[in-house]
Structure 1
Amino acid sequence: MVVFGDGGNDIEMLRQAGFSFAMENAGSAVVAAAKYRAGSNNREGVLDVIDKVLKHEAPFKQ
């Protein structure tokens, strides 16, 4: 499961997921809880990651 978060309410979800992404504009606590980073949610950060996953070009390994 791939999850994305940018706020304090996302921290537990980010900790539980296998592939967790903190958005570029996320605070430090959110970044610490996530395993990976994504671009800004003010642009197409989520879409960029999903596109790479679907093309088997995921920007991460576990």
Structure 2
Amino acid sequence: MSNVTLGSKMPRSDWDFISTFPFKFPHEKEQEKIANFLTAIDRKIETLSRQIDQTEQFKKGLPQKLFV
């Protein structure tokens, strides 16, 4: 159930209504596995982002090296 607030095109939920629904969560060990997996992905993304930045810097320096 939701109601619309003025000044917003996004409907807002009635949290009292939503809170009556049961939510199932993975067991703690499964949550830990998921968190570790996502952390590993974040680290890989960060590593690749640094590699991209370094490659872009190298690329910018190439024309200068060609004419020296």
> TM-score range with shorter-chain normalisation?
under 0.3
Using the size of structure 2 for normalisation, the TM-score is 0.22
Which of the pair is proportionally richer in strand?
1
The structure that has the greater radius of gyration is: 2
Using the size of structure 1 for normalisation, the TM-score is 0.24
Bigger relative contact order, structure 1 or 2, given CA contacts below 8 A and separation 6+? 1
